[in-house]
Amino acid sequence: FANTTGSRRTIRLHHVPQGQSSGTDNALFYDVAIAPNGTLIDSTRFQLGKGDQLRGKADTAGVTCTVYGIAVA
């Protein structure tokens, strides 16, 4: 995550199984603060099942998120 603003931002990231909603039970990051012009880097590895989603939310505009992965057949 990159906070591209001069103000603190708060983010959430969820690993949501197919057919479910974002909630505290599937949160990877929950109300985590990112400093002004700061970054948050996490190298945790996890596998998404078929239909699973990563869902992110910031308290306001100015946060970008980049995720890298591979598809396993």
pLDDT in tens, the chain (73 residues): 999 999 999 999 999 999 999 999 999 999 999 999 999 999 988 899 999 999 999 999 999 999 998 888 7
The reply to whether the predicted model has a pTM over 0.75 is: yes
Q: Are 48 and 28 in contact (CB under 8 A)?
A: no
30 DSSP β-pair partners: 12
30 CB neighbour count, 10 Å cutoff: 13
Structure token pair of residue 37: 């012009």
